[in-house]
Every structure is written in structure tokens, then in C-alpha cells.
Amino acid sequence: MKVAIIGGGPAGLYLSILLKRWNVTDDVVVFEQNPKDATYGFGVGIAEGAMGKFAEADKESHDAIENELYFMQQQFIETPDGEVEIKFPTEVGAITRLTLLQVLQSQCDGLGVDVRYDVRIDDISQFDGYDLIVAADGANSLLRTMFADKFGCNRHFLGNHFAWYGFDKAIPSALRFRKRGDDIFIAHYYPYTDNMSTFVIEVDEQTWDNGFWDLTDDERKTISEELFADVLDGGKLIENKSNWTCFHTVENDRWVTDRIALIGDAQYRGHFSIGSGTRLAMEDTIALATALQDNPDNVTQALAIYEESRRPQKQKLISAAIKSYTWYDDIRQYIDQPIMDFSYNFLTRTGRMPEERLRSFLPGFMEQYDAYKAG
């Protein structure tokens, strides 16, 4: 089986590792349009549940990733009414995006995977001799765009706008919802090393329309630093392609066509409010590699099984993501609630955390919530 993987991000590299480690094929090539070690963004969160799946799939790469994780076990939620501390029952890990790529690159090197950088794919005629082509080239996938009609690609643009920044201190994870006159600002941040944090600033659609859209990115950054100066301790946010934009979702009616398969953000772009983009992409690769391992002589059948087996599970997370970003887009309905009501609504917003599960998962919070309701 000859496999071409378009995209050298976490999903593309991880798929090549599994195909080689599981002896599915020795003939796999990864094509990445950017130079080696060129990446954007800051930290990447990886939940414990995902790490368990990675351990089952490939213990060696799992251990290499785990060794680089920075762990946290709490998050603060703040509104104009006050603040609540949420203590998680297990630790949540985060890792520098570049470090994650380098860990996976090292695994590829050890297995002899052919990873080619600075290669832009303009057409697929060069892959005529390949049995399988995998689109792992992100939300703006060139490969998916070439065959958009076959995949049935759908995009939807949300109302809120945001920008990704970094900060050169490890500050405890929090979600802070603040008002500035009639405007609403949301800070999502978490540490991913001993001295770095990811820091996302978001504004709702009305704030954007109130004139925030007419400012430069530098002016928006300055306002954000002033509004969250207490958190930043007077420091400055760090930029890395930190352009303000609205989030656009990506969904596809079909994940496979002929000998092409979509994985990761090329297939579905997960909203940052559920923090599962990298996890979902890497879990896609496990499902695809499993189907190929079970059907080594029939790629068409393997691709059909991949979509059939993976879609129901992923659809649950997609539905949760839709409810999550809709909740954020409708933040004006909730921001003036008492902090305990607001926090409860936030924690149950996706429908995947009903009260019974919430009591089991976050007993400390529910004790506070029950005391508040009784009072």
C-alpha cells in the first residue's frame, strides 16, 4: 500500500507513525507546505481521556508526548458578579504546539518516515501511483477544496470575533467574562509550560459591531491588555499570527471519495471553546489506521469502514461543539446571571454534562451550587 499524507501537522505525522509502527505499510510519505518547525499558535491542550487512547495506539509516542506535558487541575470562572474555582478530578495536560510537532517528528525519524517540507501541492497528478491520499492539511485544506463537490463541504461563519495570543508567565487557567460599557470581552487562558500561557481574547458580535471592527489589531490588543491588566500583571500579550477573525466551522457530508480521505480540521474544524481540535484530529488517525490495518488489500473498503465507525462517535462531539459556540455567541443572555447560575449553565451548555454526571465529575462545585440554591 502506497500512502501520501498531505499536511505535516499533528494528525499527518501521527498517522504516518501508526502506519509504520503497525506494519500497515512501509511506503508512506508526508508532504508539508511549510518549512520544518514552522508553526503558529502557542499551547495545545490534551485531555487525560485522549492520552489513554494514544497509549493504547502507540505507547512509545504517547510516552514521549506525556513527558513534555504541563499539568493543571483547576480553572476559574469569572463574571461581573464574582468568581468560582473549579477543581477537576484529574489533571489536564497542555503542551507547546511546536514541541508536540518536534516529538512526533522525532518518532517519524526513528521509524524512517519520509517527511518532505516546503512542498506545496497544486494538483494530485503526482500521486497517480499512490493507493491512498490523506488530506491532513487543515481547515483550509487545498485537497478538500479541489474536490469540494464530492465531499459536500459546508462552512458557517460565527458572530463572535477572537485572536490567539501568548503570555510569558504560567497563569492559572481561567475563563473571564467582563464588561466594558456595553461591550463584552472574554479571556480564555491556560498555562502550557512553567513560563508560558495561551491567551485567547474574544468579543461578541455586538461588541464587534459597536466599533471594535474599525480598530487596528494593535489597538484591539492594547484594549485587551488594559481590560485584563490585573491578570497580566501589567504585562504585554505576545503575538504570533494573532489576527482578529471570526470562527468559521467546517463540516463535510462525506469524509472519503475514491482514494482520498479527510482527517482533522480538513474534515471537521472543532471550536476552541471545547479545546479538542488536536485530540479529535489524532483520534481520526487512529480510526483510519485501524481500518487500513484490518483491510490491507482493499483501500476502498477500509475507507468506508473508517467513516462508518468514526462518524457516530465524532458526531457526538460535533453536536457538543455546536451547542458550545452557540452558547458563546449568545453570551448576553447569561452574563448578568449570578455567578453560580452562570457557572452551572456554562458547565452544562453542551448537553454532555447533565446534572447527575456533573455531581460525579465535580462534586466540589456541586456542593457550592447546592448551598447557593438552598440559600
Query: Does any domain span residue 64?
Result: no
Cβ contact 134:4 at 8 Å:
yes
Residues 304 and 274 in one domain: yes
Query: Does any domain span residue 275?
Result: yes
Of 283, 301, 280, the closest CA to residue 291 belongs to 301
Structural domain boundaries enclosing 148:
2-40+99-157+248-329
Q: Is residue 272 classed exposed, middle or buried when 0-12, 13-18 and 19+ CB atoms within 10 A define those classes? A: buried
Query: Does any domain span residue 309?
Result: yes
Kindly give, in sequence order, each residue whose CB lies less than 8 Å from that of residue 154, ignoring residues fewer than 6 positions away. Answer: 249, 250, 251, 252, 253
Residues 293 and 321 in one domain: yes
CATH code of the domain covering residue 8: 3.50.50.60
Residues 351 and 280 in one domain: no
Please list the rounded mean pLDDT of every run of 10 residues in the chain (375 residues).
96 98 97 88 82 95 96 96 94 92 97 96 90 95 92 92 96 97 97 96 97 97 97 94 92 94 92 80 96 96 97 89 94 98 96 91 96 94
Residues 361 and 283 in one domain: no
Query: Does any domain span residue 204?
Result: no
Question: pLDDT at position 269, please?
Answer: 86
Query: Does any domain span residue 28?
Result: yes
181 — alpha (psi -120 to 50), left (phi > 0) or beta? Answer: left
Residues 301 and 322 in one domain: yes
Q: How far apart are alpha carbons 161 and 31 in whole angstroms?
A: 32
Residues 281 and 351 in one domain: no
Q: How far apart are alpha carbons 53 and 330 in whole angstroms?
A: 34
SS3 track for the chain: CEEEEECCCHHHHHHHHHHHHCCCCCEEEEECCCCCCCCCCCEEEECHHHHHHHHHHCHHHHHHHHCCCEEEEEEEEEECCEEEEEEEEEEEEEEEHHHHHHHHHHHHHHHCCEEECCCCCCCCHHHCCCCEEEECCCCCCHHHHHCHHHHCEEEEEEEEEEEEEEECCCCCCEEEEEEECCEEEEEEEEEEECCEEEEEEEECHHHHHCCHHHCCHHHHHHHHHHHCHHHHCCCCCECCCCCCEEEEEEEECCCEECCEEECHHHCCCCCHHHCCHHHHHHHHHHHHHHHHHHCCCCHHHHHHHHHHHHHHHHHHHHHHHHHHHHHHHCHHHCCCCCHHHHHHHHHCCCCCCCHHHHHHHCHHHHHHHHHHHHC
Query: Does any domain span residue 88?
Result: no
Of 348, 369, 332, 359, the closest CA to residue 79 belongs to 332
Residues 262 and 369 in one domain: no
Q: How far apart are alpha carbons 216 and 237 in whole angstroms?
A: 15
Question: pLDDT at position 41, please?
Answer: 76
Question: pLDDT at position 171, please?
Answer: 96
Residues 254 and 318 in one domain: yes
Total count of domains within the chain: 2
Query: Does any domain span residue 9?
Result: yes
Q: What pTM did the predictor assign?
A: 0.94
Query: Does any domain span residue 229?
Result: no
Of 239, 106, 44, 86, the closest CA to residue 172 belongs to 86
Residues 341 and 325 in one domain: no
Residues 110 and 130 in one domain: yes
Question: pLDDT at position 279, please?
Answer: 86
Residues 313 and 254 in one domain: yes
Residues 290 and 351 in one domain: no
